[in-house]
Amino acid sequence: MVASEQVLATAQQLDTLSINTIRTLAIDAVEQANSGHPGAPMGLAPVAYCLWQNFLRYDPADPTWLNRDRFVLSNGHASMLLYAMLHLAEVRRVDKQGHVLKDLAVPMEEIKRFRQLGSLTPGHPESHITSGIETTTGPLGQGVGNSVGMAIASRWQAANLNRPDFEILDFNVYAICSDGDLMEGVGGEAASLAGHLKLSNLCWIYDNNHVTLDGPADWSFSEDVATRFVGYGWNITRVADANDLTMLSRAFETFLHTKDRPTLIIVDTHIGYGSPHKQDTNAAHGEPLGEQEVRLVKRFYGWPEDAKFLVPDGVREQFRERIGKRGRELRAKWSDLFAGYSKKYPDLAERLGHMQHRELPAGWDKDLPTFPADAKGMATRESSGKVLNAVAQNIPWMIGGSADLATSNKTTLKFEGAGDFEAATPAGRNLHFGVREHAMGACVNGLTVSGIRAFGATFFNFSDYMRASIRLSALMQCPSIFIFTHDSIGVGEDGPTHQPIEQLASLRAMPNLIVLRPGDANEVTEAWKIIAQQQSSPVALVLTRQALPTLDRSKYAPASGVAKGAYILADSPGGKPDVILLGTGSEVSLCVDAYEKLKADGVKARVVSMPSWEIFEKQDESYKESVLPSDVTARVSVEMAATLGWARYTGLKGRNVGMHRFGASAPLKDLLKYFGFTVETVVKEARAAMAEK
């Protein structure tokens, strides 16, 4: 054997050794935890290794590098694949302030604590816990949906921030996905949108292992995936053997040379590769291999059978020499380019800094509209559209759109230069998601984790389609903006299929989600001030279809009270009420009308506008007591939704005016009377509450 052949053989041997290190780390972590999914990492290890070592533009020493390629593990049950890569690549930890530390993001002790309480290696990847994870994945389809948002973000940032001779942003997005990702509807929606937008910076790698959790994939999945994606407008390539690093490299090269469409790489893998009794079966999917099987697998790999969490000599060095060195050189070259960019375009460089750190630009709240008192008023969707346009004009990286309902949601950005984001016009700020609520929610999260201030809108009833995305944004502390209009039986003739009833209670039950239901146009302005300033909590902004009176703020308290979540809008003389009326959204004005009626009858009443329970709960006890004094037990809540949860504020003696069934199709006035949302009903309930003393 000549010297060059010896070097080649040594390199191939080191590749195999490194790949088997990824596999055995996954096997050992799952075995020690007695919980997890070893099979997918065993099959996918060569794919991740080839991508990270040879193609991913990524510097482990700075996982916050703006122009890094994004890697998404959509099949999050294979989390040990990602943890092993983060560990072996020696990706650094980033603190809450965004500072890159010398510590490893995933040290070996955390690999050994896989799936344990408080570890950095939970069962599915969580981006707010572990540095180097771009987005929280687990519910199948969400990760690939996020990846489409990330690819849109890259295109948009390049179109708006790059300058001649300064190509600052052009990152690619890679996502590994499974049969489950492609079966879930959100995956199909996301793929359709990506193909329509010709996102050539997006590459999905399909783990075609023919196995699902229950058994063989062909029990439930027999479609021709390649033909399906051709129909979506994707480029398709295939690797027949996941262990063939040469063919994997060719596939990734194909992606990099494809400039007119996204790419799907179908990789034929063996789940549980190397396991004599469990390879290619669902037994390798969702449980440890078992001690005896682990020994047999390691024997197949040529691995010491008794070794656990072994990283052989040469493996770490191999990662340092490949992704470590390449990433360091790429980032250094980029940093030099960015230094020149910052000097020539300081305003744009500052903008990038704000985007990365979720900061607001100076003057973000200038020229926000205020609305004069008007008994006829306007729908909060209308006032929100006006405020949104002002806020977005002040925050140049705020973009978003609707699920084919922009004209109804009033979310179109209309100021000069806003434009539409399309394949040929990637600088536009209006996104057209089509009738794809599932994909829209996931894309908004992908945009947001990429530094964009993104929003998505639809009818409130269809928030159910987006629930997984909303939940994940809350879990990963991602300040996505979800705008929901047509928020009650006020939808009227469209009937109960479009009238939300239980959605408010449902979203209020979600941790770290702020629900805002403003009561008039000026409360909408204050709500947008809250939204703009969020850095780690998503917001659901819930708005009416029907017009609401714009309250006279010279007569009633200023709308700035929205900042506290709830505030005293109208009060009795001396501030000692006999009864408290609590309302949100369209029912606030109803409470005000009932207050005036009670006041005329000599009853001391107080109206509390309560647009956000979550924000109110963050206030100190003295403030909460001042708004809802504990010695005033006569309380009435009024909301055109399920009453679940209101008892925490109205108490055992309180009354709750709300919905206890689905709505109906009829003109709004008829519905309000039929379901009891009238002044007479509220006054009656207030008197009943006072009688309970």
Enzyme catalytic residues = 437
Short-list 85, 88, 21, 22, CA closest to 304: 21
Reported in sequence order, the residue ranges of 95-138 that DSSP labels E, i.e. its strands, are: 100-104
The H or E element containing residue 83 is: helix 79-88
Query: Contact, 406 vs 430, CB < 8 A?
Result: yes
CA-CA distance, 572 to 590, in Å (whole number)?
Answer: 17
Query: Contact, 1 vs 9, CB < 8 A?
Result: yes
Strands 605-609 and 579-583, bridge-based pairing: parallel
Residue with tokens 């960019």: 341
Instruction: Check residue 478 and give left, alpha or beta (phi > 0: left; psi -120 to 50: alpha).
Output: beta
The SS3 of residue 629 is coil
Beta-carbon contacts of 66 under 8 Å, excluding residues fewer than 6 positions away, are: 168, 169, 338, 352, 356, 451
Kindly report the number of other CB atoms within 10 A of residue 2's CB atom.
7
Beta-carbon contacts of 493 under 8 Å, excluding residues fewer than 6 positions away, are: 665, 666, 667
The H or E element containing residue 400 is: strand 398-402
CA-CA distance, 372 to 521, in Å (whole number)?
Answer: 9
Tokens of 445: 């999260």
The SS3 of residue 371 is coil
Q: Number of H helices and number of E strands within the chain?
A: 25, 20
Short-list 13, 214, 178, 216, CA closest to 81: 178
Residue 499 one-letter amino acid: Q
Query: Contact, 529 vs 365, CB < 8 A?
Result: yes
Sheet holding 655-659, edge to edge: 567-570, 605-609, 579-583, 635-642, 655-659
Tokens of 226: 């390649």
Kindly report the number of other CB atoms within 10 A of residue 347's CB atom.
8
Greatest extent of the chain over all pairs of C-alpha atoms, in Å: 104
